[in-house]
Chain A
Amino acid sequence: MDKTPAVSLQVPARATFVPLVNTFVKNASLAFGLGEPEALALTLATEEIFVYLSQSAAPGCTVDISCASGGYYVRTVFECATQEFNLNAFNLTSTVSLDTESGLAEMGLVLASRSVDRFQVSRAPERGLRLTLIKEKSYPEAGAKHFAELREMLRPYTTRAPNAEEIKLLVQFANQVYPAHLLPAFLHYPGKVVDMIGAGEYQAAIVVGAKGQIGGAILWHWAGQKTVECFGPYVFDTIPEIANTLLESCLGAIAKTRAVCLINRLPTPDLPQEHFEALGTLTLFNRDGAPESTTYLRHLQEDEGSMMWAHPDLEEFLRHEYRRHILPRDIVVVKNEMEARPPFSVLSTEIDRMQNQVTLRPIWTGSDAGDNLRRHINLLQQEKLANVFFEMDLGESWQTDFTPALLECGFVPRLVLPYAGKGDLVIFQLGARPA
């Protein structure tokens, strides 16, 4: 069975087709499991984008619209041969003037960007625009479970993938055993984890005792083209080797794939550290102070080296980190030489209120990169989010444009995640002390 079913519609960008597009997206969203409010939100976003294409960006052009289920979300993709799309509206900080005609048209895009959970934009000269909107299902949080009754673990045990009910149990157990700040946001929602694994985006392994008791679990997913991120191992029993067994199960599953690295950004005390190397730390500002959280890395293959783009202001940090971790890299230094840039840059914003943190990622560069970043920081500080991160992909040369503004604004490069993007990913943190 297809784990990610999809439907598609090809339609000219004309206002008369708005009802058709709305009906298509709404019914597809409902069929793929979104609740009524989420389906309506995605439909609203779709309508605003289609209207904008019909009236401003690409009147009459053919638009390919597809809807696909990702298990815990529905993804709508627009593809259209236009270069006129104003991506500025997709910045969290975007405001529009309602006094002008173009401002009114872009108001719809602002509404669209706020109605969805995530979006991605790519634009190529020969293919035009590809805009992806993602709306997640809504799930209840993990409830209490009578853990003591279920935790008895008997040898012999086996390691295998969990079924749906076991996934829900392991989520509940993890929430009972580990403090919230050691768990990823999704791990607070049992049903969501079932759907994430069911869709194939995440994988999991559990240790199961002779009577079916769950002794521990590990989850993992592809965080980049060559990087897998694992969560756990979460251990619910006292058998000492469970954590190692779970980790080796994860390693066995990904050992013969294209994955070059395994990372763990939320290590628990149960992480078998002999399998990993500590990449660096991030400061987690919260009510209890500013504890440091270590990010761990494990290579899965021999590192054959790679070329990375870097702004001159970041070169020293990168050379230090690559030397410290013996990562063979050719650094190619690039900077803007006054060549033309599009007028507006775009940043995506992922807010995790449970962890009191936000992650900014560059979607598009533009001549306003520095100002755009400052606007985002101002807004996020008003929101009182204590932990502000910025992820820069060194495999994308244009992302280096953001480097001077990041440093000027008080961001500090904290660590480099090998191959976690198209290339290595540098994690900057706002207001942290240099490593």
Chain B
Amino acid sequence: MTPAPPLDKLVPEYVRRFEAYIPSKPDPELMKLYGCARVFRLNNNENALGPPPAAQEIIHRFPPPRAAVYPSGDAFYLRHKLAEQFGLHPDQVLVGNGANEVITFVIKTFCAEGDNIITADKTFAVYEWVATFSGFEARLVPLKDFGFDDEEMLARIDARTKILFVCNPNNPTGSYWSEERLRRFLDRVGGRQIVVVDEAYAEFVEKPDYPDGIRLLREYPNLVVFRTFSKMYGLAGLRIGYLVGDLDVVNMIRRTCVVYSVNGPAQEAALAAIGDDEHIARTRDMVRQGKAFLMRELARLSLPCVCGEGNYIMVKLPMNDNLAYRKLMTQGVMVRTMTGFRFPNYMRITIAKMEAMEALIEGLSKIID
């Protein structure tokens, strides 16, 4: 046997220091461990209605022999369809294996040794993770009143800042910047850095002052907008998301893009899902109804909550969130604990169908007694 590789010498220090994220075990394993017969998944902000019917049809009819054929390497048809919908050039769109992959593309494109990115401390963690395990500093600005703090983010910019990430609406707090606030922020950045606005939950927001980042691209060429098919369009299992931006900016990002990373069924299902307004309306109805129910029931249980935009809310518990997780798991309800988001004793709940919401409330009633 050859000697073990000298990992301390081979692996950069910033990788050795980084702790790998361990995803949840598959549902059957968790059900076995916690002894429950079924699980309501309220932990990943998935759409309980599933994909739109046309996308379901694509998945259902996908011919198995096509699995042997490479998909379009750059999601050709999907990019054209998205460009048509948003009034863009197809090369302004880059499709990735979920929004996580396009985050990696952007950081790889703009950051070099010594550079930094700026985002919030309590937001979607992948911006911070990718920067950190790539050897770049992630400057984390504390949330203010559960929202991104624009002034403090601007104050943290220096000559080595390359990207500012804004999650709008924010996961997990549901807070959002209005169009006026986003414009003011972009004006003050003045095009010197790339501003990424992650709109993973944009399709859930019905507030009139919520900005459509894609419409702002013409005025702000340093703006890059992320969207995903994982949330509203219910295609999380197929892993597909995209970014749009100024043509020159996207042409640069394309250089770090791994082609062929998005599979064929994902591309075709996404293509079929676009523009299904009925699916969006049905999902919004479900979320509205679920939120109203939860707000009422949580108030009855005297549990404070943070309810903003998106298909999720955060609940403050009078106990350790991870103990609550374990107790709820034994009753077949899976939630997301928030200690890892730096919100200890909070949990995030995905708004789903009423049966799941009722099971959650029943479970919570038992564990806080």
Contacts and interface: CB of A to CB of B under 8 A. Distances in A.
Given A304-B24, A326-B327, A299 B33 contact: no
Contacts of A247: 344
B29 interface: yes
A252 B143 CA distance: 13
B326 A326 contact: yes
A300 interface: yes
Interface in A225-258: 247-248, 251-252, 255-258
A276 B341 contact: no
A274 B320 contact: yes
Given A126-B1, A257-B19, A277-B320, A301 B339 contact: yes
Interface in B271-328: 318-320, 322-323, 325-327
A327 B323 CA distance: 9
Nearest to A277: B323
B350 to A, nearest CB: 15
Contact of B322 (A126, A257, A301): A301
A275 interface: yes
B301 to A, nearest CB: 16
B341 A326 contact: no
Contacts of A276: 320
B67 interface: no
Interface in A265-302: 274-277, 298-302
Given A126-B1, A326-B330, A301 B320 contact: no
A251 B322 contact: no
B125 interface: yes
Nearest to B328: A326
Nearest to A248: B344
B344 A275 contact: yes
A212 interface: no
B260 interface: no
Contacts of B344: 247-248, 251, 255, 275
Contacts of B29: 305
Which range contains the number of B residues in contact with the other chain? 20 to 34
24 contacts: A126-B1, A251-B342, A255-B342, A256-B128, A257-B19, A274-B318, A275-B320, A275-B344, A275-B345, A298-B320, A299-B320, A299-B337, A299-B339, A300-B339, A300-B340, A301-B22, A301-B322, A302-B24, A302-B326, A304-B22, A304-B25, A305-B33, A326-B326, A328-B30
A303 interface: yes
B34 interface: yes
Nearest 10 CB-CB pairings of A with B: A299-B322, A328-B33, A305-B33, A258-B19, A326-B326, A251-B344, A252-B342, A304-B25, A255-B342, A257-B19
A396 B325 CA distance: 28
A274 B326 CA distance: 16
A300 B33 contact: no
Nearest to A261: B322
A303 B328 CA distance: 12
Contacts of A255: 339-342, 344
Contact of B25 (A126, A251, A257, A305): A305
A191 B329 CA distance: 46
A302 B33 contact: no
A93 B49 CA distance: 68
Main secondary structure of the interface of A (DSSP, over half): loop
Contacts of B121: 252
Given A300-B322, A326-B323, 5 more contacts: A256-B340, A275-B320, A277-B320, A301-B337, A326-B34
Which of A256, A298, A302 has most B Cβ within 10 Å? A302
Nearest to B319: A274
A299 B326 CA distance: 10
B165 to A, nearest CB: 16
Nearest to B340: A255
A302 B125 contact: no
A256 B323 CA distance: 18
Contact of B323 (A248, A299, A330): A299
A274 B339 contact: no
A301 B340 contact: yes
Contacts of A328: 30, 33-34, 326
A14 to B, nearest CB: 25
A243 to B, nearest CB: 13
A298 B318 CA distance: 13
A126 B4 CA distance: 11
A299 B322 CA distance: 6
Contacts of B1: 126
Contacts of B19: 256-258
Contacts of A257: 19
Contacts of A301: 22, 322, 337, 339-340
Nearest to A326: B326
Contacts of B319: 274, 277
Contacts of A248: 344
Interface string B182-225: 00000000000000000000000000000000000000000000
A305 B33 CA distance: 7
A428 to B, nearest CB: 25
A302 B34 contact: no
Which of B19, B322, B329 has most A Cβ within 10 Å? B322
B337 A302 contact: yes
A38 B326 CA distance: 48
Contacts of B323: 277, 299, 326
Contacts of B342: 251-252, 255-256
Which of B20, B24, B326, B330 has most A Cβ within 10 Å? B326
Nearest to A300: B339
A266 B154 CA distance: 43
